[in-house]
Amino acid sequence: MIARASKLFLPTLRDAPADADAASHKLLVRGGFIRQVGAGLWTFLPLGWRVHQKVVQVIREEINAIGGQEMLEPVLTPAELWETSGRIGIPIVFKLKDRTGRDFVLPFSHEETMTFHARELQSYKQLPQLWYHFSTKERDEPRPRGGLLRVREFIMKDSYSFDRDELGLDRSFDAHKGAYERIWERCGLEVYYVEAESGIMGGRESSGFMAPAESGENILVRCENGDYYADYDAARGIPRAPELPEPLDKPEEVETPGVTTIESLAEFLGIDPAATSKAMPVMVGERPVLALIRGDDRLSEEKLVTALGEGYRPMTDEEIRSVFGAGGGSLGPVAVTIDVLADDALHEGQFVAGANRDGWHLRGVQAGRDYKPDFADIRQANEGDACAVCGGKLLEQTAIELGHIFKLGTFYSVPFGATFLDEDGEEKPLVMGSYGIGPARTMAAVVEQHHDERGIQWPRTVAPYDVHIVALTGTESYADRAASALDDAGFDVLLDDRDARAGEKFADADLIGCPFRVTVGRKAAEDGTVDLRERAKGEDDAVKVDELVSAVRGKLS
């Protein structure tokens, strides 16, 4: 197929919109790929939709290759399904009513609907099953941003596996992991498989795929030695050893007038901030809990939720006063009646803690001796922590989360009654997994990872066209010949036949970023040659028009 630029709706811009920040946002808008309709709402213009479709096709092929069956489920979803799973209460769920007042959800993923259909699975003989679709998702996103990086409506490939047991789930999960890795590879992306939190999806285990990018939404924590990758929220690090003072036989009160922060406490006592502990009192439902971390650490809210097994909220000042008898800056774990959940970093050693008495702290507080906590990893990992695998240094890098895969287990099948009969005639719930990829985010990540100051450098697999022919004035017949030859050879061709100046056409070609550019100029008439250039390399090779196809093929091999 030959696309003629003179006929295309391809509105390129010399300047990026003032509100664009991320490179992918600027370049996709400037290149005429996408346009904004509202906050987090984007139209894919013809060129952008071509790229999106190419990403979709790569995903489709790889999911089909592991046995996926493509289908399509509706966006508009009866709210009862989401009441069954309990996800109706999640704030970002779009909800609406029809004219009779019936409640509906516009889902951000389709676990409920898929499980609804999975109730038709009846026998172990039918398992495993792997179903997927590409469909529009909605989320009532509090803060869309970064062009395609965080939006309110988007297309997602989500697949769902149904197995008879955990072993089967592990196999389905691993198959997806492999498929996803092939997808990123084919899209030319650098992506890391990371530990992640399952958050609002439910289920017991989840992993993310993160693409490092200048304008990432997430933080990728990685070991300098390449043996550990994790999402920031889930990352485990080993903090540096604190400089602990001489141990005491029992805690000792010390007056600390007006000292309510870790910084001022460490300074006042002349000690390492890492030799202090920080108390974070929370309410878990009606149950008060004291979360305790090292003074120089930050509490990971995600890890705390995981450790508690349910959500929580910070205590109000009044609650703190009534539970501890002291204000927020003077709290500690000694002699409290509520449960204490201490970070693993407090396992060994003696730390300074609040005395639960305004203006006083305790030196020499030791877990196990002076208070009896439960232990868990509830601190955020920091850059510079030691890697839990090899002891190397942990690094942080902004990244885009492109995919997320979950071992859901029976989280949905049990409430939906999606069961099957095994060989023994016993009824069992389906063991499920779910697996998502955002093609538009993938597209944005490709741009983030493949661009220069002039524009995009698409890998051929997802490029809008393989070859961009720049036809300079007076060369139309030669340009047509070149285009036809490439077209006949199976390449997607964009022919810039507009009545425009050379510089403008070159600038647009660099911006749009097709992998090959063919310049047809006066040399075509003189000696039958055109200039072939790879976008990512930027050097022209003079090639006879008759040899253009083989020259392009040669550069591809």
Partner RNA sequence: CGGGACGUGGCGCAGCCUGGUUAGCGCGUCGGCUUUGGGAGCCGAAGGUCGCGAGUUCGAAUCUCGCCGUCCCGACCA
Cα 217 from Cα 76, distance rounded (Å): 28
107 binds RNA per the rule CB under 7 A: no
Cβ-based nearer residue to RNA, 146 or 354: 146
Name the amino acid, one letter, at 157.
K
Three-state secondary structure call for residue 414 = helix
Q: How many other C-beta atoms can be found within 10 angstroms of the C-beta atom of residue 220? A: 25
What end-to-end distance do the CA atoms of the chain give, in Å? Answer: 22
- 3-class DSSP state for residue 150? strand
Output helix, strand, coil percentages for the chain, rounded to the nearest 5: 30, 30, 40
Report the DSSP pairing between strands 386-387 and 237-238.
Answer: antiparallel
Cα dihedral angle (134, 139, 144, 147), rounded to 10 degrees?
Answer: 10
Part in contact with RNA (CB under 7 A); list of ranges 8-16, 115-123, 176-184, 262-270: 8-16
Q: Which stretch binds RNA (CB under 7 A): 279-287, 363-371, 413-421, 494-502?
A: 494-502
The nearer residue to RNA, 271 or 509, going by C-beta atoms, is 509
Q: Which is nearer to RNA, 195 or 272 (CB)?
A: 195
Residue 453 as a binder of RNA (CB under 7 A): the answer is no
Q: Of 301 and 343, which has the nearer Cβ to RNA?
A: 301
Beta carbon nearer to RNA, 242 or 436: 436
Residue from 69, 264, 473, 477 touching RNA (CB under 7 A): that is 473
Among 58, 444, 472, 486, binds RNA (CB under 7 A): 472
Q: How far apart are CA 28 and CA 35, in angstroms?
A: 8
What does the alpha-carbon distance between residue 90 and residue 83 come to, in Å, rounded to a whole number? Answer: 11
Give the start-end residues of each E strand in 187-266.
192-196, 205-212, 218-223, 229-231, 237-238, 252-255
> Nearest approach, Cβ of 25 to RNA (angstroms)?
7
For residue 213, give both structure tokens.
């990018």
Q: Interaction with RNA in 136-155: which residues (CB under 7 A)?
A: 137, 139, 142-146, 154
Residues 178-237 interacting with RNA (rule: CB under 7 A): 197-201
- Which of 2, 21, 66, 171 touches RNA by CB under 7 A? 21
CB of 358 to RNA, least distance (A): 27
Does residue 12 interact with RNA by CB under 7 A? Answer: yes
| Max CA pair span of the chain | 96
Q: Does 36 bind RNA (CB under 7 A)?
A: yes
Q: Nearer Cβ to RNA, position 164 or 379? A: 379
Residues between 430 and 449 that touch RNA (CB under 7 A): 436, 438, 441
Phi, psi of 400 (to 5 degrees): -110, 130
Interface with RNA, residue 398, by CB under 7 A: no
Near RNA by CB under 7 A, which window of 6-14, 324-332, 366-374, 387-395?
6-14
Among 110, 186, 236, 404, binds RNA (CB under 7 A): 404
Q: Which residues, 6+ apart, have CB-to-CB distance to 278 below 8 Å? A: 262, 292, 293, 294, 295, 297, 299
Residue pair 223/384 in contact (Cβ under 8 Å)? The answer is no
Residue type (1 letter), 370: D
Q: Which range of residues in 37-45, 55-63, 345-353, 365-373 is near RNA by CB under 7 A?
A: 37-45
Nearer to RNA, 48 or 349 (CB): 48
Range list of H helices, 368-432: 413-416
How far from chain centre, in Å, is Cα 122?
A: 35
Within 500-539, the residues that bind RNA by CB under 7 A are: 500-504, 506-511, 519-524, 530-531, 533
Give whichever of 371 and 435 is closer to RNA, judged by the CB atom: 435
Quick one: 14 or 337, whose CB is closer to RNA?
14
SS3 404: strand
Q: Catalog residues that contact RNA under the rule CB under 7 A.
A: 12-19, 21, 36, 38-40, 91-92, 108-109, 137, 139, 142-146, 154, 156, 158, 197-201, 301, 404, 406, 436, 438, 441, 454, 472-473, 500-504, 506-511, 519-524, 530-531, 533, 540
